[in-house]
Amino acid sequence: MSRLYRMPSLGSDMEAGTLIEWVRQPGDRLAKGDVIAVIETQKGAIEVEVFHDAVMGRPLIQVGDKVPVGSPMAELEDASAAPALRPATGIPATHAPEPGPAVAEAGTRTSERIADQAGHRIGHRAGTGTAAQRRRASPAARRLADARGIALDAIEGSGPRGAVVLADVHAATGTTPTTEAASPPRGHLDLAAMRQAIAAAMSRSKREIPHYYLSHDIDLTAATDWLTARNAQLPPDQRLLLGALLIKAVALSLDKFPELNGFDRDGHFEPAQGVHIGCATAIRGGGLVAPALHDADQLQLPTLMTRLRDLVGRVRSGGLRASELSDPTITVSSLGERGVDRLYGIIYPPQVAIVGFGTPALRPWVQDGQVVPRNIVTATLSADHRHSDGHRGALFLARVGQRLQEPDTL
Amino acid sequence: MSAQMIEISYREAVREAIREALNRDPRVFLMGEDVGRYGGCYAVSKGLYDEFGPERIRDAPLSEAGFTGAGIGAALGGLRPIVEVMTVNFSLLALDQIVNNAATLRHMSGGQFSVPLVIRMACGAGKQLAAQHSHSLEGWYAHVPGIKVLAPATLEDARGMLWSALEDPDPVVIFEHVMLYNRSGQLAADAGAVPIEGAAVRREGGDVTLITYGGSLFKTLEAADTLAADGIAAEVIDLRCLRPLDDATLMASVARTHRAVIIDEGWRSGSLAAEISARLMEQAFWELDAPVGRVCSAEVPIPYPKHLEDAAVPQTDDIVAAARAVLNR
Amino acid sequence: MSIRETDGDHSHLGDKLHLDRAHALHLLREMLRIRQFEERCAELYTEEKIRGFLHLYTGEEAIAVGVMQGLTGSDAVVATYREHGHAIARGLPMTRLMAEMYGKREGVSRGRGGSMHVFDADSRFYGGNAIVGGGLPLAVGLALADRLLGRAQVTACFFGEGAAAEGAFHESLNLAALWQLPVLFVCENNLYAMGTALERSESETAIARKAESYRIPAAAVDGMDVIAIEAAARRALAEIRAGGGPRFLECRTYRFRAHSMFDAQLYRDKAEVEAWKQKGPLLRFRQWLQEAGMLSAAEVEHLEAEVAEEVAAAVAFAEAGQWEPVEDLARDVYTEQPA
């Protein structure tokens, strides 16, 4: 019995993905969670995993192919039924009549390279089953064409040896190259494409989701005092940041408010199975992602802090897992030390709520009839009015505030 | 508010830098072959012997390993020596001391000893000095962790890098290209120390990034002029410091221009240009709109006859052609 | 200028060296410390506690111990890759030295150097140089700094006779003599440059004569006789301190063990090694002290037990030491400067 491995959706704004590597080969046994392929998306290259034990079967697309979400990528054989087709050494079994496309592709590139060095252009090797020669295009042009959704084959190349270069892609799309200083490159994260993705998701959100907004000032003095005392005993790399407390407080408060933790599915609410907080993280140079901190309500603070550091680190180094981009059930966005009082978030579909925290600051506060300086943060909630209302939202925000008065219970 | 400018040669700028260092810090002394009575092989130290005497302008016998090692020892002992190795070819006789001692002592001693030593040497082709006196081995030195490697090309850097190098607690090797010594220009009369890290954008442009250093800088700037006449705006980056390399400046430029040509008088194989090209692949691959180009020396010992020497090392026309090639124009 | 030969007879030393019992016992103890430390190192090497190259000084202890007696705390020492003896005689703590042998963070060089690269700023111990002849130019430079800064200090530079074939040896002797620098060159002539016998590598086998050709006063000394070495070193150091420029000591000695741990010793006879062992510095000096009535067998036993305890403590210290975290790999390549 075989199933199909399909192009996974890694976010509501992802429409298609480009296969850049088969990590596993036909015949390989895959355990649940194993990475099977690497997919290029607007947010960079992401490793995608299988969710059941299986044996990799026939690939249905090739490296370089861009296919829509949901398209079959490969066959998966039942793990219990199928014998391993390929020995673990990676040497193709003799009874496999065709080389896999990935192998053919690699061979083709090598021969092309050797031919290039000798000053020749060669056609594609016959019999490998791949249709056409790989189009010569610069990395920058390839990236732009991908972002604009244009096939390279349709573009006339004017670069060295007929390669498609940036200017050709601009000409083909009727755009002009930007002259402003580009940001320094980081990995292969494409900031322009990311900006487009954010634009699409946020436009959809504002177009489709009836937001309501609530704001609540929370006294953080107890929390920050507790944090200071605790951190004093810890080496710098183990210290907790306020952000971890805020995330934990939100995560714990959701237990009584399931209508804020889940997804809109064509107008119907689907509660989430766990609390996976999307942590909005700015990327240096611009752009933003909110990968999931899984089961944040279940994590002890030190573990939560470690996972958060790891997540932020991988946002910057470009090593996010697919599940981290697709799993968040609610988003938390914190302005940290940016010095702004409050933020009103836009919901990241298909989620139904986003919690925002401004910059904590000493403010006058009335306590027991006296005006006293206290460390205050303004928390906000933007929520989907189709699935919750202001009364429930207000109770939720108040609960977050109460939670933060008892930091040792977090 | 412009400072008073003076006309000065590169040679004089280096000499002024040495003179200033000798005046500022009694621990500084210059040591090398014929730096004293003779006045320096390239006349850099001319006059300093009379001014500072034989103890501080110290003529050394022809023993590169000996006096370079003595410079290292003197630095360990609390002085701030400037060792002049006449030309880079002779530095090969001192390579053991530089690579096995200067570069390693801090690490081997677990951080107990630093070697605040400056080694200056002339390098490069162009004066028909043939195969044993025309090397560009900066890339070799830049390969070695534990030393810093500088290539001042401008008058400001010739004047200003030495003092910063002397203030640095670690060994610094300074390469002075022989074709630069006679270059003259305007320099602020009060010009002083400049940082010894970071590359400099010597000319801005959006079409192609030309990356170079030392003796090739002015050829590259000339090439940029030629390209400009044809409507090609080349950005020229002077590396200045060959170790550590300033990746950020290079990547930022290539992110704007999407094309790069590296001009390096070293031989192509295993060159500094190769290293920079690799870094562009690692860090700016997705920005590239054309293969990285290189203009390096031909893989021959530098020949004596003028026309062959010219053909062996990067020239302005080669740079223009390489830039056009990556632009396909 | 001449090459003085000494014959190992100490009876005439009275006026030159005040050899009281306490000093004699100190010399014996120092040599014993080196011997026992290194014997333990050899054992630890076979147990894979110490790795890399391990070059033992066994048989040559009298030289380091004898020369160090004439140095003050502000003098400098430059040694070779066979430098454990020099480090111990110079006063480096055996605990941190053993930790260095292990490569532990508590080692004198933070574990980064190992057996061949022992350094210590406090005692001006400049290594630990594993390039034959590589330390001589450093010694010249250290002495040059002392001279130019007006410091009345001497740099003692140890090297083997193999270094005499290197250009750096000749360049350094020339520079030191030319500039009249306060360097004491100490050649430890153990007759073999690794496995190459002296007569197979040098046209002139009297190394001291090479120094003489650079107009450096030189003496050839019995390298197995700690008293003779101390006397010769004190004399040379006094002349250097008086402004006489460099001096050169050739100490004729023999290494009892292989060049390094991995050496089948195909290049010399067992009988030759045995014959030299009978002239060993510890054996001879102990016998001499006992015959002179300065030392009893019980005292020897007690001394050996004390040193054994020190070595055991050093091993325990090294065992308890920490490995430097890998995150610190890149430290000490350049000097960390305040941002």
Regarding chains B and A, contact by 3 or more CB pairs under 8 A is answered as yes
Tally DSSP H helices, then E strands, for chain B: 13, 14
Number of domains comprising chain A: 2
Kindly report, residue by residue over A117-133, the tens digit of the pLDDT: 444 444 333 334 344 46
pLDDT of residue A178: 53
Residue carrying the six token digits 């040591």: B31
Q: Does a structural domain hold residue A165? A: no
Is B284 within 8 Å of chain A by CB? yes
Is B66 within 8 Å of chain C by CB? yes
Closest partner residue to B255 among A158, A182, A188, by Cβ? A182
Q: Does a structural domain hold residue A338? A: yes
* SS (HEC) of A254-276: HHHCHHHCEEEECCEEEECCCCC
Average pLDDT over residues C177-186: 98
> Partners for C (CB, 8 Å, 3+ pairs)?
B
% of chain B exceeding 90 in pLDDT: 98
Q: Which residues pair with C185 in a beta bridge?
A: C157, C248
Q: Are B122 and B41 in contact (CB under 8 A)?
A: yes
Q: Kindly list the residues from chain B whose CB atom is less than 8 angstroms away from the CB atom of residue C131.
A: 96, 100-101
Yes or no, beta carbons of B101 and C138 under 8 Å apart: yes
CA angle A310, A315, A317 (to 5 degrees): 90
Is A165 within 8 Å of chain B by CB? yes
Q: What is the dihedral of CA B213, B219, B225, B227, to 10 degrees?
A: -90
Instruction: Average the pLDDT over each of A44-58, A158-172, C91-105 and give the range with the smallest value.
Output: A44-58
The CATH number that applies at residue A354 is: 3.30.559.10
Token pair of B148, please? 């810093």
Regarding chains A and C, contact by 3 or more CB pairs under 8 A is answered as no
pLDDT of residue C212: 96
| Residue C93 to residues A298, C77, C86, C103, C123, Cα–Cα distance (Å) | 52, 16, 12, 15, 11
Yes or no, beta carbons of C142 and B110 under 8 Å apart: no
Which of A64, A97, A130 is the C-terminal boundary of a domain?
A97
Interface test with B, best of A18, A117, A138 (most B CBs within 10 A): A138
| Residue B71 to residues B56, B64, C138, C142, C163, Cα–Cα distance (Å) | 12, 10, 8, 9, 20
Q: Does a structural domain hold residue B61? A: yes
Instruction: Average the pLDDT over each of A29-43, B266-280, C27-41 and give the range with the smallest value.
Output: A29-43
User: Is pLDDT above 80 for A10?
Assistant: no
Q: Does a structural domain hold residue A184? A: no
Q: Are A27 and A93 in contact (CB under 8 A)?
A: yes
- The matching CATH number, chosen from 3.20.10.10, 2.60.40.10, 3.40.50.970, 3.30.930.10, for C3-8+18-319 is 3.40.50.970
User: Is pLDDT above 50 for A100?
Assistant: no
CA distance C261 to chain B (A): 22
Token pair of C235, please? 């004399």
Nearest to C214 by CA among C238, C182, C246: C246
Q: Are C144 and B29 in contact (CB under 8 A)?
A: no
Which of A97, A126, A155 is the C-terminal boundary of a domain?
A97
Question: Are A364 and A222 contained in the same domain?
Answer: yes
Range of the domain at B307: 200-327
Q: Tell me chain B's radius of gyration from C-alpha atoms.
A: 20
Yes or no, beta carbons of B100 and C140 under 8 Å apart: no
Token pair of C210, please? 């090479």
Q: Are A75 and A60 in contact (CB under 8 A)?
A: yes
Average pLDDT over residues A135-142: 90
Question: Are A209 and A88 contained in the same domain?
Answer: no
Residue C251: what are its φ and ψ, rounded to 5°? Answer: -105, 115
CA distance B205 to chain A (A): 11
Higher pLDDT, A118 or A285: A285
> Distance between CA B292 and CA B261 in Å, rounded?
6
Average pLDDT over residues A55-73: 89
Is B29 within 8 Å of chain C by CB? yes
HSE-CB for A401 with a 13 A CA cutoff: 18
Nearest to A7 by CA among A31, A28, A38: A38
pLDDT of residue C287: 94
Kindly report, residue by residue over B28-76, the tens digit of the pLDDT: 999 999 999 999 999 999 999 999 999 999 999 999 999 999 999 999 9
User: Is pLDDT above 50 for B85?
Assistant: yes
Yes or no, beta carbons of C117 and B61 under 8 Å apart: no
Question: Are A249 and A393 contained in the same domain?
Answer: yes
Give the pLDDT band of residue C336 (cuts 50, 70, 90): confident
Average pLDDT over residues C130-146: 97
* SS (HEC) of chain C: CCEEECCCCCCCHHHCCCCCHHHHHHHHHHHHHHHHHHHHHHHHHHCCCCCCCCCCCCCCHHHHHHHHCCCCCCCEEEEECCCHHHHHHHCCCHHHHHHHHHCCCCCCCCCCCCCCCCCECCCCEEEEECCCCCHHHHHHHHHHHHHHCCCCCCEEEEEEHHHHHCHHHHHHHHHHHHCCCCEEEEEEECCEECCEEHHHHCCCCCHHHHHHHCCCCEEEEECCCHHHHHHHHHHHHHHHHHHHCCEEEEEECCCCCCCCCCCCCCCCCHHHHHHHHCCCHHHHHHHHHHHCCCCCHHHHHHHHHHHHHHHHHHHHHHHHCCCCCHHHCCCCCCCCCCC
Range of the domain at A73: 2-97
Nearest to A254 by CA among A226, A276, A235, A270: A276
Please, which contacts does A288-292 make with residues 24 or more away whose CB atoms are closer than 8 Å?
Answer: A288/A194, A288/A198, A289/A43, A289/A194, A289/A315, A289/A320, A289/A325, A290/A328, A290/A331, A290/A333, A290/A348, A291/A315, A291/A320, A291/A324, A291/A325, A291/A328, A292/A323, A292/A324, A292/A325, A292/A326, A292/A327, A292/A328, A292/A329
- Residue B290 identity: A
Q: Does a structural domain hold residue A159? A: no
Q: Does a structural domain hold residue B195? A: no
Which of A97, A125, A154 is the C-terminal boundary of a domain?
A97
Instruction: Average the pLDDT over each of A19-33, A278-292, C91-105, C263-277 and give the range with the smallest value.
Output: A278-292
Give the pLDDT band of residue A367 (cuts 50, 70, 90): confident
* Chain B residues 156-195 within an 8 A CB cutoff of chain C: 169-170
Question: Are B103 and B251 contained in the same domain?
Answer: no
Q: Does a structural domain hold residue B2? A: no
Q: Are A100 and A62 in contact (CB under 8 A)?
A: no
pLDDT of residue B329: 87
Question: Are A258 and A393 contained in the same domain?
Answer: yes
The CATH number that applies at residue B184 is: 3.40.50.970
Per-position DSSP letters for A59-75, written without gaps between them: E-S-TT-EEETT-EEEE
Q: Kindly list the residues from chain A whose CB atom is less than 8 angstroms away from the CB atom of residue B258.
A: 138, 140, 166
User: Is pLDDT above 90 for A199?
Assistant: no
Total residues belonging to chain A: 410
Q: Does a structural domain hold residue B194? A: no
Higher pLDDT, A31 or C218: C218
> Distance between CA B9 and CA B27 in Å, rounded?
27
User: Is pLDDT above 80 for A107?
Assistant: no
Q: Are A299 and A306 in contact (CB under 8 A)?
A: no
Yes or no, beta carbons of B108 and C337 under 8 Å apart: no
Q: Does a structural domain hold residue A239? A: yes
| Residue B327 to residues A78, A165, B274, Cα–Cα distance (Å) | 53, 10, 20
> Distance between CA A148 and CA A151 in Å, rounded?
9
User: Is pLDDT above 90 for C154?
Assistant: yes
Instruction: Average the pLDDT over each of A196-200, B270-274, C224-228, C313-317 and give the range with the smallest value.
Output: A196-200
Q: Does a structural domain hold residue A26? A: yes
Is B290 within 8 Å of chain A by CB? yes
Give the nearest chain C residue to B55 (CA atoms). Answer: C148
Q: Does a structural domain hold residue A175? A: no
Average pLDDT over residues A325-335: 89
Question: Are A83 and A218 contained in the same domain?
Answer: no
| Residue A60 to residues A1, A16, A30, B138, Cα–Cα distance (Å) | 17, 15, 17, 52
User: Is pLDDT above 70 for C333?
Assistant: yes
- Residue B147 identity: I
Question: Are B75 and B130 contained in the same domain?
Answer: yes
| Residue A94 to residues A29, A86, C178, Cα–Cα distance (Å) | 18, 9, 78
Give the nearest chain C residue to B74 (CA atoms). Answer: C141
Yes or no, beta carbons of C332 and B73 under 8 Å apart: no
Is B2 within 8 Å of chain C by CB? no
Question: Are B141 and B208 contained in the same domain?
Answer: no
User: Is pLDDT above 80 for B265?
Assistant: yes
Q: Does a structural domain hold residue A399? A: yes
> Distance between CA C54 and CA A118 in Å, rounded?
52
User: Is pLDDT above 50 for A257?
Assistant: yes
SS3 of A236, please?
helix
Yes or no, beta carbons of C144 and B74 under 8 Å apart: yes
Question: Are B306 and B234 contained in the same domain?
Answer: yes
Give the pLDDT band of residue A191 (cuts 50, 70, 90): low
Q: Which residues pair with C247 in a beta bridge?
A: C184
Please give the model's pTM, rounded to 2 decimal places.
0.66
Q: Are A383 and A260 in contact (CB under 8 A)?
A: yes
Question: Are B98 and B36 contained in the same domain?
Answer: yes
Q: Does a structural domain hold residue B41? A: yes
Q: Does a structural domain hold residue B24? A: yes
Number of domains comprising chain B: 2
Burial of A89 (0-12, 13-18, 19+ CB in 10 A): exposed
> Distance between CA A291 and CA A276 in Å, rounded?
9
> Partners for A (CB, 8 Å, 3+ pairs)?
B
Give the pLDDT band of residue C46 (cuts 50, 70, 90): confident
Q: Does a structural domain hold residue B205? A: yes
> Distance between CA A407 and CA B265 in Å, rounded?
64
Is A315 within 8 Å of chain B by CB? no
Yes or no, beta carbons of C167 and B65 under 8 Å apart: yes
Q: What is the dihedral of CA A327, A333, A337, A341, to 10 degrees?
A: -170
Residue carrying the six token digits 């066959």: A75
